[in-house]
Amino acid sequence: MFAGKSEELIRRARRALYAKRKVQVFKPALDNRYDESKVVTHMGVDHEAMPVKNVADLRAKVERGTQVILIEEVQFFDESVCDLAIELADKGKEVICAGLDQDFRREPFGPMPRLLAIADEVVKLRAICMNCGATASHTYRQIDGKPAHRDDPIILIGATESYEARCRNCYKLVSGRGRGKK
């Protein structure tokens, strides 16, 4: 988190629009942190997006003639998003996916490992550790000001109230009983 993934997705969408290409931006409906129908950066920059419930819904909403498909928070979709990305790319569409490659436990997140393997290009953005200022690659989750437990639910929609970017040295995770299950 906080590495600029949404900013980069918006930049690429706008660039394609400047080139007069037909663009569609999608986001998971469950991500309603800032807006129901926009991708919004932590700094408040936004771009229209179509919220979708799942991959089948996304597939059904890709319009004929769309040249560039951008998918925000792709880690929240199931593995079938990989098949859809391949299918669209094989039809000549440009498919751009933005998402976290690791969850708060530093484990591969959802379909990301396969998406990274099948991608024509991978851009890994890194944040700044919110604790010490070093380069950060990890998402640190806290609940009520305390580090998350390994067995806490994987998905918890949030922003600065729940998450921080952390470097390897400042990252902490509590083992043992958490507040819930996957």
Question: Which one, of 53, 16, 24, 13, lies nearest residue 36 by Cα?
Answer: 53
Beta bridge partners of 155: none
Does residue 77 sit in the same domain as residue 19? yes
pTM: 0.87
Domain with 150, as residue range(s), is: 127-166
Catalytic residues: 73
Query: Where among 94, 118, 142 does a domain terminate?
Result: 118
Does residue 22 sit in the same domain as residue 92? yes
Task: Measure the CA–CA gap between 41 and 49, rounded to whole angstroms.
Answer: 13
User: Is residue 173 predicted with pLDDT exceeding 80?
Assistant: no
For residue 161, the model assigns a pLDDT of: 65
Give the Cβ contact number of residue 164 at 10 Å: 19
pLDDT tens for 86-136 read: 999 999 999 999 999 999 899 999 999 999 999 999 999 999 999 999 999
Does residue 18 sit in the same domain as residue 104? yes
C-beta separation of 111 from 82 below 8 A: yes
